[in-house]
């Protein structure tokens, strides 16, 4: 007689509640508007010290659904797990996203790893019909680089 082992599986329950809409008068339609939004997210004392990576999920009207700090790294880099980013975007029912990170060095030009990560995120988002609208690189001097403006998205 076979020994039947009963396996218990964890049940996953998702909850999503939309409280008072914090950003009801805010929408992002340009790289400059995105930059203005992101510059308030980066820690002033850290923007020239170490890299941080943020995402702003957007609804169909390009209204921010919030801000997600994806990672905080070191002087020359930070790690972003694309699966966690996608999980966050799916949980808040985002239809678009703008991402940004800083270069403490002050050089706003994207590195090859920056370009690869952008393409990887764009491809992953496309599977779920989420549009990567822009990727900004911010500097401590208040300058920024826009992948969208430079035709890289």
* CB neighbourhood size of 116 (10 A): 11
pLDDT recorded at residue 128: 96
Asked if residue 127 is part of any domain, the answer here is yes
pTM: 0.84
pLDDT recorded at residue 87: 94
Give 59-81 pLDDT, tens digit per residue.
999 999 988 999 888 777 888 99
Residue ranges for the chain with pLDDT beneath 70:
1-25
Q: Give me the number of domains the chain comprises.
A: 1
Give 94-109 pLDDT, tens digit per residue.
999 999 999 999 999 9
Asked if residue 16 is part of any domain, the answer here is no
Range of the domain at 105: 54-141
- CB neighbour list of residue 32: distance below 8 Å, 6 or more residues apart: none
pLDDT recorded at residue 66: 87
pLDDT recorded at residue 2: 58
Asked if residue 46 is part of any domain, the answer here is no
Asked if residue 82 is part of any domain, the answer here is yes
CATH number of the domain that residue 102 is part of: 3.40.140.10
Asked if residue 117 is part of any domain, the answer here is yes
Cβ atoms 75, 46 nearer than 8 A: no
pLDDT recorded at residue 24: 61
Residue 98: phi and psi, rounded to 5, are -125, 135
């Amino acid at each position: 007689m076979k020994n039947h082992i009963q396996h218990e599986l964890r049940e996953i329950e998702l909850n999503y509640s939309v409280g008072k809409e914090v950003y009801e008068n805010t929408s992002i339609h340009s790289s400059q508007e995105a930059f203005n939004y992101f510059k308030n997210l980066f820690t002033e004392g850290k923007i020239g010290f170490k890299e941080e990576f943020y995402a702003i999920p957007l609804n169909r009207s390009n209204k921010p659904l919030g801000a997600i700090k994806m990672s905080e790294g070191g002087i020359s880099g930070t790690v972003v797990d694309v699966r966690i980013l996608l999980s966050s975007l799916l949980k808040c029912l985002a239809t678009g996203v703008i991402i940004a990170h800083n270069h403490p060095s002050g050089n706003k030009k994207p590195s090859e790893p920056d370009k690869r990560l952008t393409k990887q995120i764009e491809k992953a988002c496309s599977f779920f019909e989420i549009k990567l609208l822009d990727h900004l690189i911010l500097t401590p001097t208040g300058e920024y680089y826009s992948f969208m403006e430079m035709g890289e998205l």
